[in-house]
Amino acid sequence: MSGNPIIYKPYEWERLRIASQFNAKLMDHLRPFVKPGVTTDEINEVVHEYTVSHGHVPATLGYMGYPKSCCISINEVVCHGIPDETVLKEGDIVNVDITSIVGGWYGDQSETFLVGEVSEDARKLVQVTFDSLFLAINTIRPSSSVVEIGEAIYGYATGLGYGVVRQYQGHGIGREFHTDPGIPHYPTSASERDILLPGMCFTIEPMLNAGTWKTVEDRSDGWTVRTKDNKLSAQFEHTILMTEDGPEILTLTKEGPQPGHQF
């Protein structure tokens, strides 16, 4: 984090929009490749080639030593899954998390895909995670406290029996990948003090687990995070710009699930 939250000037908002809209186009571009029989490395190659061919930079590649151009997290993997030779199979749920640097500005989002026909339990987890993101977005307004995001997600998800991951959170974004404020997806006393003002840009990215909220990091690679009980996990993420009129979702895709979508 870089210290105090950054409030971007109105003339900078278009830079945020351009980076985020490219990222959304990238998500739509990779969408057809998330299917049974495809390896996560192949999806990573699609992300890398599309980004570089447009003159932009995949933000995760080399970030704190991370070796790939996106994160792909399957089933019980909560986040930061490293693409490899793993083959997607019918019934998997898989989160693809992509971040692009466009002219020095960052766009960031993730989406959980259903691979073929999935179990009803998996489908419901994905639905509730998706709904919790938009519930939080629809809750906030200029001068909202960050804690309102956590209250909305936590209250909704735990009421349906899901665990809300606490170790990882949303974040400010713009000229840097991660800045203040942190955006926890459960209520904290610290987030009560953080106020969302017009010009602030940040991500909301709830991670919900079918069982416990607790997670374990894989010590063998230092990145992959799994649920402690090996039950399923899902995540959705958007980059949000707070304007005088309320939150603007910068990373909406044209072909992906829209607010109110039913999986």
Annotated binding site for substrate: 80, 178
Polymer length of the chain: 263
Amino acid, res. 145? S
Structure tokens at 42: 């192949």
SS3 call for 63? helix
Cβ within 8 Å of residue 221, ≥6 positions away: 82
Q: Token digits for 202?
A: 């940040």
Distance of CA 73 to the CA centre of its chain: 11
CB half-sphere exposure, 26, CA atoms < 13 A: 37
Give the full edge-to-edge strand order of the sheet including 225-227.
77-79, 225-227, 215-217
* H-only helix segments in 163-222: 189-192
CB half-sphere exposure, 187, CA atoms < 13 A:
9
**Binding site as annotated, residues:** 80, 97, 108, 171, 178, 205, 237
- The SS3 assignment for 124 reads helix
Tokens 């019980």 sit at which residue? 76
Angle, helix 147-159 to helix 120-139, in steps of 10 degrees:
150
Known binding-site positions for a divalent metal cation: 97, 108, 171, 205, 237
